[in-house]
Amino acid sequence: MLLGGKMGFDIERLMRLALIYVDEDEASRLVNDLKRIMDFFNKINSLDVESVDPLYHVLDASGKLRSDKPEPKDTIEWIRRHSRVKGDMVVGPRTIVEE
Partner 1 sequence: MRSIIGIELHIQVNRVGSKLFCSCPTNYYSAEANRNTCPVCLGLPGSLPVVNYSVIEKATRLALALSSRISGSLIFVRKHYFYPDLPKNYQISQYDRAGMVPFASGGYLDIGFGGSSKRIRIRRINIEEDPAKISYPEGDPLKSPYSLIDYNRSGMPLLEIVTEADMESSKEVRAFLEKILTLVDYLDICDPDLEGAFRVDANISIEGGERVEVKNIGSLRDVEKAINYELTRQRNIIRAGGSVKRETRHWDSARGVTVTSRAKEYEEDYRYFPDPDLPPIEITKEFIDNVSSNMPELPWVRAERFIESYGLSRYEANVLTSRRWLADYFENALKYYGNPSKLADLLINDFLGIVNEHGGSPRVVKGSPDKVGKLLSFLDRGVISIKILKQILPDVVLRDLDPEEIIRSRGLDVISDRSVIEKLVDEVFRENPKAVEDAKKNPKAINFLIGKVMAKTRGKAHPAIVREVVARKLRE
Partner 2 sequence: MRIEHIGVAEYIENARNDPEWVSEYYSVLFERIGKVEPEINSYITLADPEKAVKNAVESAKRKTTLAGLPVAVKDNISTKGMKTTCGSRILSNYVPPYDATAVRSIKEHGGVILGKTNLDEFAMGSTTETSFYGPTRNPWDLDRVPGGSSGGSAAAVAARIAPVSLGSDTGGSVRNPASFTGTVGFKPTYGVISRYGLIAYASSLDQIGIIGLSVEDIALLLDIVSGEDPRDSTSIAYPSAKSFYSSIKDGDRYLGDFKAVLVSEMWRGVDPDVNTVLKAVIGKLESNGLEVTEISIPEIEYALPTYYIIAMAEASSNLARYSGMLFGISKDPSGVDWVKYYSRIRGIGFGREVKRRIILGSYILSEGFFDQYYLKALKIRRLLKQRLVKVYGDHGFIISPTTPITAPRLGENIDDPLKLYALDVETVVANLVGGPSISVPAGFAGGLPVGLQITGPPLSDLDMLALAYRIEEIIGSGKTHAPPLG
Residues 9 and 3 sit within 8 Å (Cβ to Cβ): yes
Q: Is 76 in the site for partner 2 (CB under 8 A)?
A: no
Query: In the bound complex, what is the minimum distance in angstroms from residue 68's beta carbon to partner 2?
Result: 13
Q: Find the angle CA(83)-CA(18)-CA(37) to the nearest 5 degrees.
A: 130
CA distance to 9, 18, 34, 71, per residue, from 64 (Å): 41, 31, 38, 18
CA quadruple 33, 23, 8, 45: dihedral positive or negative?
positive
Whole-angstrom distance, CA of residue 39 vs CA of residue 43: 7
**Residue 36 binds: one of partner 1, partner 2, none (C-beta under 5 to 8 A by kind):** partner 2
User: Looking at 4, 6, 82, 87, which residue binds partner 2 (CB under 8 A)?
Assistant: 82
**Residue 2 binds: one of partner 2, partner 1, none (C-beta under 5 to 8 A by kind):** none
Query: In the bound complex, what is the minimum distance in angstroms from residue 27's beta carbon to partner 2?
Result: 10
**Residue 68 binds: one of partner 2, partner 1, none (C-beta under 5 to 8 A by kind):** partner 1
Residues near partner 1 (CB under 8 A) are: 16-17, 19, 54, 56-57, 59, 61-76, 79, 85-97, 99
